[in-house]
Amino acid sequence: MRNINKFILLIILFFDLSNEIFSQSIKDSLEYKIGQMLMFGIGNINSIEQSDSLIEELSKKNLGGIILFEKNINPKNSFLELKSLLEKIQSVSNFSMFVAIDEEGGKVNRLKSKYGFHKTRSAKSLGEENNLDSTYYYSKKTSQLLKNLGININYAPNVDLAVNLNNPVIYKAERSFGRDPDLVISHASSFILPHRQDSVITVIKHFPGHGSSSKDTHMEVTDISKTWIIEELFPYKSLIDSGLVDAIMSAHIVNSQLDELMLPGTLSEKIINGILRNFLGYNGVVFSDDMQMQAITKYYGLEQAIEKSINAGIDILLFSNNQLPKNQVMLDTVISIIKEKVKTGTIKADRIYESFNRIKKLKQKIGLII
């Protein structure tokens, strides 16, 4: 009997060791590292009952993260439905997923009061009041809600300066704390601190500054060469130096002052590697803005945009897939494109490893398994 028990124990240990080795071999693979560099929208799914196809896909892939939109909020039992869905997604992914949302407050607010969530305030109103305690208070309510739901990334705060008062996507949308860099820095800091207390990553945006634009990069290319001012870099420099930056999101703006090739910021090595990393000294994770905005898709094919963004220094590529079905991008397609470009040398394998290590460090910071 003792020999039989020993034999059974050896079999169990063998399978445990085999599974561990297999799991580690996956994590060491190039495909796994590429998957960690990608974040996708989840379509119209807003409940566990609708999630079978998503769960099946996630169980086979190593997707780094998902992004949520208002369409993913179930109008009935909103909190419990979303929390349950996210718990299921994390369990399937072995608790390794970034779950992101744009919850700036004001007009950029997915978790609306009509679904039973708290009311928020815009950056503009908080900047005009200029009471740091108020900014902290409203940010704390948001960070606690995100933590309780299982959302671990907030694409906020917005640190764009209110340079152009006719700006349709920043100033008129009330997304800027104000024109004064010091004001923006102080309120951004008060926004970030409660999120850190609740282990929710903040992503400041949109580098190198979107506040002087006159057009919306969701719709078309936006050239700020004649309107951009150096002060738009000040919030980034100050927040980086103070150690308050978890991550940064790039902008798709075009600026000949910063890149004479007129590449959108997300695709520009001079802007991301040159200015953000080398000049400002930032070595953390950089997220792209949505790679399906028309400022990118109108002028660059998918393969070119992927290649240029990764070579520019982007670590995580965002595909929201808020498109008609014929225009949506598949995860397998993006992974295949990147693998082929690594194979041909147009993207160096070292760039993938570099991004993966940054992502790994950020995920471990909030207790995710990777």
- Which domains can be identified in the chain, with CATH numbers? 36-365 (3.20.20.300)
**Residue 179: DSSP 8-state:** S
| pLDDT given for residue 7 in this prediction | 59
| pLDDT given for residue 219 in this prediction | 73
The Cα diameter of the chain in Å comes to: 84
Burial of 235 (0-12, 13-18, 19+ CB in 10 A): buried
- The predicted model scores a pTM of 0.91
Nearest to 284 by CA among 194, 359, 195: 359
Strand partners, 202: 154
| pLDDT given for residue 61 in this prediction | 86
| pLDDT given for residue 58 in this prediction | 87
3-state secondary structure of 119: coil
| pLDDT given for residue 92 in this prediction | 92
pLDDT along the chain (370 residues), means of 10: 59 51 62 97 94 88 95 97 96 93 98 98 98 98 98 98 96 98 98 98 98 83 94 98 98 96 97 98 98 91 97 98 82 96 98 98 95
| pLDDT given for residue 6 in this prediction | 60
Per the CB < 8 A criterion, the answer to whether 33 and 356 are in contact is: yes
Residue position matching structure tokens 């009952």: 49
Per the CB < 8 A criterion, the answer to whether 236 and 275 are in contact is: no
Q: Give the phi and the psi of residue 84 in degrees, each rounded to 5.
A: -65, -40
User: In this structure, is the dihedral angle defined by the CA atoms of residues 212, 217, 219 and 220, taken in order, positive or negative?
Assistant: positive
| pLDDT given for residue 112 in this prediction | 98
